[in-house]
């Protein structure tokens, strides 16, 4: 019962007891952690500098940017980039749409999220998930 769905750069394969995803999720995750970490450090630098008397509104902008990037950093830490996911590890499968982006969210039992985006035929994937993994779909 293996079913393969094409991604724009990769594929997702549903087998009987596992889901195999081949995409660039690890690279994207590490790059996002690195860049948000850098901006977080810039914000912390300005936050420590704001303790001095000569601060201006531009320093508050950098502090705000640092706080936002701390939140982004934590959000990316809660994401998974596993390429082989056993069905026993899956808590739920959801097809979501935000703006023009449609993606598959795989929530794992360890409260992490594996997001698969850029699926070429999302309607077919959604129908396949509804028919074969109905107990794992949530709204």
- Decide: 7 and 120 in contact? Cβ < 8 Å: yes
What local confidence, expressed as pLDDT, does residue 41 receive?
Answer: 82
For 39-85, write each residue's pLDDT tens digit: 888 777 777 776 665 656 666 777 788 788 888 889 888 988 888 99
Start-to-end CA span in the chain (Å): 25
- Decide: 78 and 107 in contact? Cβ < 8 Å: no
**Do 21 and 60 fall into the same domain?**
no
**CATH assignment at residue 17:** 2.30.29.30
Containing structural domain, residue 49: 30-77
List % helix, strand, coil for the chain (3-state, nearest 5).
Answer: 45, 30, 25
What's the domain count of the chain? 2
For 85-95, write each residue's pLDDT tens digit: 998 888 988 88
**Do 34 and 100 fall into the same domain?**
no
**Do 34 and 72 fall into the same domain?**
yes
**Do 111 and 93 fall into the same domain?**
yes
Alpha carbon distances (Å) from 129 to 4, 14, 126 = 12, 10, 5
């Amino acid at each position: 019962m293996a079913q393969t769905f094409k991604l724009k750069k990769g594929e997702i394969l549903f087998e009987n007891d596992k889901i195999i995803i081949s995409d660039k999720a690890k690279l994207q995750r590490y790059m996002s952690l690195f860049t948000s970490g850098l901006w977080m450090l810039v914000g912390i630098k300005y936050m420590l500098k704001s303790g001095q008397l000569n601060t201006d509104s531009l320093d508050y902008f950098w502090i705000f940017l640092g706080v936002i990037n701390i939140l982004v950093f934590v959000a990316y830490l809660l994401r998974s980039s596993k390429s082989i996911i056993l069905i026993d590890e899956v808590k739920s499968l959801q097809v979501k749409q935000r703006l023009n982006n449609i993606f598959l969210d795989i929530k794992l039992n360890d409260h992490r999220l594996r997001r698969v985006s850029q699926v070429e035929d999302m309607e077919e994937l959604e129908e396949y998930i509804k028919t074969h993994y109905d107990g794992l779909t949530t709204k």
